[in-house]
Amino acid sequence: MTDLTRVLAFAARSRVPGGFGYAGDDGTVLPGRPVETWISARMTHVFGLATLLDHPGAAELAEHGVTALRTGPLHDAEHGGWRAATDDDTKAAYVHAFVVLAGATATAAGVPGGHELLTEALGVWEQRFWDDDEGLARESFDRSWTTAEDYRGANANMHGVESTLAAADALAPSDPGVAARLRTRALRATERIVHGWTRERDWRLPEHFTHRWEPLPELNRDRPADPFRPYGVTVGHQFEWARLCWHLAAALGEHAPGWLHADADALFTAAVERGWAADGHEGFPYTLDWSDQPVVGARMHWVLCEAVAAAAVRSALTGDPRTATLQHRWAELGERLFLDPSVGSWHHELTPEGAVGSGTWAGKPDAYHLVQMLLLPGRPVRGSVAAAVLASR
C-alpha cells in the first residue's frame, strides 16, 4: 500500500542545488536535465504539506525549496519573476502559479522565508499575468516581460485558481481583504472556463485559446500527447476543476454561487461516464476527442490521482456511497497497477494494458499529485489542500 513516508523519502532524493530536479524511476535526478521551476515549486509545496504534518526532515527540505526559489538561479533578480528552467528564460503563468502555491503552503507551515516568497510571487502574478478585464491569466512572456505569447490556456488558469485559493487561506488571518480579492478572482476565472465554455460544450472542457480567448479545439492534433498542451479533452482536468469548484464553494461559504456545486457534479459525472474504460481497458485515458473517443490511451498517474481526490471531496460533501465506492475502486487500481513497490512512489505513465510507459513522461518527475491525493481523504473540505491539512491537525 502506498505509504506517505516512503513517498516523501523518494521525493527527498530529488533535492539538488538550486531546487529540486527531475527524478527518474529510482528517485535519482536524471542527468543532463535542467532544474525546472514547476518541479522545484511543486516539491516545495509537498514538503510544506509534510511540515504541517510534522514529518521528520520535511521542514528543512521545505526551507531549501523556499530559499532556492527566492535566491537561486531560477529567480530572475534583474527582471523579476521566475525562469521556466535554468536553460529557459520564459516567464510562464503555469510556472508562476506553482511558485505562488509553494509560497502559500510554506507560509501556512511557518517555513522561514515562506511569507516573503508568497508576497513576491503574488505580486508578479497579479501585476504580470492577471488580466482583470478578462478575469483570466495571460499565458507567458519573454524574460524582460516585453513580448507576450498569443496563446491562452485553461491549464495555467486552473493552477492559478488552485494557488490563489491557497494564498487566500494563508493570508486570511492577517489580511482578510487580500484573501477576499483572491477568492473573487478565482471565482471569475472558474466562471468563465467552467460555467461558461465547458458548460456550453456539454461538459467537454476546452483547454486552448487565442489571445482573444477564442477556443482552439484542433490545437496540437498532430502531437496529441503533449505533456502540457494535449489535443482534445483532458479527463484529469475535468476531475481537477470539479475539486476546485467544491473547494472554492467552501472557501466562499455563504457567498458561493449555487452553480459551483452543480457544475462540479456535472464535470465529475462527465469525466466518469465518458472517461472510464473508454477504450475497453480499465482506467482513464489521458485524452478524448470532441466525440468522446480516446485519443491518447496512456494512463497517467496524475489523472487517477485527481479522480481519487475529486471523489474523496465529493464523498465528504454528499455522503454519496456510490462516490465512495468509486474512490476506493480507483485507489485500488492505483495500488495494483501504478505503485512501484521498490521505491514506494507511483509510475507516472502506463500503457492501456498496464505496462510501464514513457510516451509522455519518463521517470517519476515529482510527487505533487500523489501526495495531495494521499492527504485529502478524511480531511475537511476547504479552499486548499494545505488548509485542509492544517484544519485537521
Known catalytic residues are 237, 369
d(CA 243, CA 241): 5
**Alpha helices for the chain (secondary structure H):** 4-12, 37-52, 58-71, 93-109, 114-124, 154-171, 176-190, 199-200, 235-252, 259-270, 301-318, 321-333, 368-375, 385-391
Distance of CA 247 to the CA centre of its chain: 14
What is the SS3 assignment for 292?
coil
* DSSP three-state, residue 234: strand
DSSP state of 320: -
**Grid cell for residue 132:** 482583470
Question: How far does Cα 130 stand from its chain's mean position?
Answer: 18
What Cα–Cα distance (Å) separates residue 156 from each residue in 177, 193, 311?
Answer: 24, 12, 23
| Beta carbons within 8 Å of 190's beta carbon, 6+ residues apart | 161, 241, 244, 245, 248, 260
Residue type, 364: K
Return the percent helix, strand and coil in the chain, to nearest 5.
Answer: 50, 10, 40
* Contact of 284 with 308, CB cutoff 8 Å: no
The radius of gyration of the chain from alpha carbons, rounded to an integer in Å, stands at 19
Identify whether the C-beta of residue 232 lies closer than 8 Å to the C-beta of residue 292: no
C-alpha cell at 169: 487561506
